[in-house]
Amino acid sequence: MKYEFPAGFWWGSAASGPQTEGTVAGDGKGDSIWDHWYKQNPELFFNQVGPEDTSYVYNRYKEDIALMKKTGHTTYRTSIQWSRLIPDGIGAVNPEAVAFYNSYIDELLANGIEPFMNLYHFDMPLSLQQKGGWESKEVVDAYADYARICFELFGDRVKKWFTHNEPIVPVEGGYLYQFHYPSVVDMKKAAQVAYHETLSSAKAIKIYHEMNLDGQIGIILNLTPSYPRNENDPEDVKAARLADAFFNRSFLDPAIKGTFPEDLVSLLKELDYLPEYTQSELELIKHNTIDILGINYYQPRRIMKKESTERLSDNPMPDDYFDNYIWPERKMNPYRGWEIYEKGIYDCLINVRDNYGNLPCYISENGMGVEGEERFINADGMIEDDYRIEFVQDHLKYVHQALQEGCNVKGYHMWTCMDNWSWTNAYKNRYGFIAVDLAEEGKRTIKKSGYWFKQVSDKNGFDA
C-alpha cells in the first residue's frame, strides 16, 4: 500500500539543548539542576556520564546540520537552555549564548530545516531552583521574562515555539518518583509545581501573542492513552479515567481549553492538595491557550482498579488510586522494556480531534530506545537498526490513518537525531538516526534508519 502524506508535512527529529549541547570552557553557561545534581551524585547517572558530555553540538552543530540534511530533515525540534542564555536564570544575558543560538538557527534555516524551538526541557537554572524552582511564583515570573527575551532575540526567524516539553515529567521526577532533582516525595508540592508550569506557559503565550510576531506557540505533552483492563468493569474504567486526569488532562485541558479537569480538581480539594492560586491567574490561563500542540508518544498506560483495600497513605500519590495492568497481549521493546503499541499514536490524535477542537498538532517525539546498540554494527561500521525502521513505519501508518480520518497533524519528529544524553539514563538507551561514539570523541555515523528516513522525507511517504 502507498502511504502518502499531505504536501508540506514536516519530517524531522527532536532533541533538547541540555541533552545535546555539552559544556565548553568559557562558554559562559550557568549551572542547571542537572549540572548540580551530577556534581553532587555522579553515581546516580548511568556509567557516571554527566551533562557536560552530551553530544558536543555546541561545537559541532554545522557538521550535525549537514547530517540532518543528509537524513531528510525538513524540521528539527530542540530547545534553548535557559541557564546558557541567562546563567543566573534572571539578569544578564550571556552574549556567547546569543551568538551560538543565532548561528545555530541561521545554519538550520540556510539548510532548509525549520527550527521548532522549545523553551524548557527539564533544565531549571540552579540559582532559581535554590529559590524554590517551580514551587515559587518568583520563578514563574523569571521564566516569563526569559521567554520574552527568547522571542525578542530569535522570534524573527523561529516561527514555531513551545513553552514546555513534557511538564508532567518534572512533577513526577522531582516531586513524586525521585528521578529528577530536587528528588522529593510530596504530592502537595507536586500539584503546586504542575500548576506553576501551566501558569508560566500561559504567561509566555500571552507575551508571545502581544508581540504580534509571525508564528505560533504551543506546548509539548507526553500523552499516555489510558486503557482500562476491562471496559465493562466500571471500576476499571473509573481508574483509567483518573489516570488520564493525572497524567494527560492535567496539562491538556488548561493548555487547550483554559480550564482544569473537574474530577482532578475535586480529588485534589478532597485531599487538601489544591495549589495556591488567584482568580486573576485562572483568568490568565483561561485566555492564553495554545495555537499548536506537540505530542510525544512512546507507550500507553494500562490500568486496573486498585486491588488492595489498604487505607490510603498520609501522603497519597496517583498510584494509590489505580494499579498498572500487564496486558497479556502486549508487545515489548526488548531493548528498553517499554510497551510498543502503535495504535496509541492514532488514539492520541483522535482524542485531540474529538475532544480538543482538532487543534493543529505535531508528533514532537516518538522513538525506540535500544540499550547496547553497538551489537548491531555491520562490517561497514553502520548500525543496522531495522527494528527502528519498523517502529517508525508502523507508527507512521497510524498517523496516516488519523490524517485520513480528518486529524489535523502536520509533522513527525522522531526522538532523536543523534544519540544523546538522557538525564540519569545518560547514554544507556540509544534513540538516534545517527550514532554517536563516545569512545571516539563523539564520532557520528548515520544508521540504516537515517538513510531510510531520507527516502520517506523525499517521497513524502512510503510503500509498505
Q: Which residues are catalytic?
A: 365
Nearest distance in Å: CB 336, ligand BGP: 6
As measured in angstroms, the least distance from the Cβ of 338 to ligand BGP is: 8
Interatomic CA distance for residues 147 and 208, integer angstroms: 8
The CA dihedral of 425, 429, 434, 439, to the nearest 10 degrees, is: 70
Q: Give the nearest distance from C-beta 364 to ligand BGP in angstroms.
A: 9
Distance CA(84)–CA(148), nearest Å, equals: 16
Interacting residue ranges for ligand BGP, rule: CB under 6 A: 16, 19, 165-166, 222, 296, 336, 365, 369, 415, 422-423, 425, 429
DSSP sequence for 358-392: T--EEEEE----EETGGGGB-TTS-B--HHHHHHH
**Which H or E element spans position 205?**
helix 187-210
Distance, CA of 395 to CA of 346 (rounded, Å) = 8
Q: Which three cell numbers stand for residue 265?
A: 480538581
10 Å Cβ neighbour count for 320? 16
CB of 269 to ligand BGP, least distance (A): 30
Coil, strand or helix at 149: helix
> Is the Cα dihedral 181, 44, 120, 18 positive or negative?
positive
Cβ closer to ligand BGP: 166 or 253? Answer: 166
* 86 vs 223, beta carbon nearer ligand BGP: 223
> What phi and psi values does residue 352 have, to the nearest 5 degrees?
-65, -40
- Least distance in Å: CB of 429 to ligand BGP? 4
Residues 6+ apart with CB under 8 A from 168: 194, 221, 222, 247, 250, 251
- What is the nearest approach in angstroms of ligand BGP to the Cβ of residue 415? 6
- Asked if residue 112 lies in contact with residue 148, where contact means CB atoms within 8 angstroms, the answer is no
Comparing CB distances to ligand BGP, the nearer of 226 and 296 is 296
- Give least dist CB 150 to ligand BGP, A: 19
Place of cell 555539552: 22
Strand bridging mode 301-305 / 434-437: unpaired
Of 23 and 429, CB closest to ligand BGP? 429
Q: ∠254-135-17 over CA atoms, to 5°?
A: 75
In single-letter form, the type of residue at position 243 comes to: A
For ligand BGP, the closer of residues 183 and 425 by Cβ is 425
In whole angstroms, give the CA distance from residue 41 to residue 63: 33
Please give the residue whose beta carbon sits closest to ligand BGP in the complex: 422
Least CB distance to ligand BGP at residue 188 (A): 25
Closer residue to ligand BGP (CB): 155 or 369:
369
Nearer to ligand BGP among residue 135 and residue 166 (C-beta): 166
- Of 217 and 368, nearer to ligand BGP (C-beta) is 368
Q: What is the largest CA-CA distance in the chain?
A: 64
DSSP 125: B
* Packing angle, helices 187-210 and 137-154, rounded to 10: 30
Q: Please state the closest distance from residue 416 (CB atom) to ligand BGP, in A.
A: 7
For ligand BGP, the closer of residues 13 and 127 by Cβ is: 13
Output phi, psi for 442, to 5 deg.
75, 25
Nearest Cα neighbor of 345 from 406, 393, 297 is 297
What's the chain's Rg over C-alpha atoms? 21
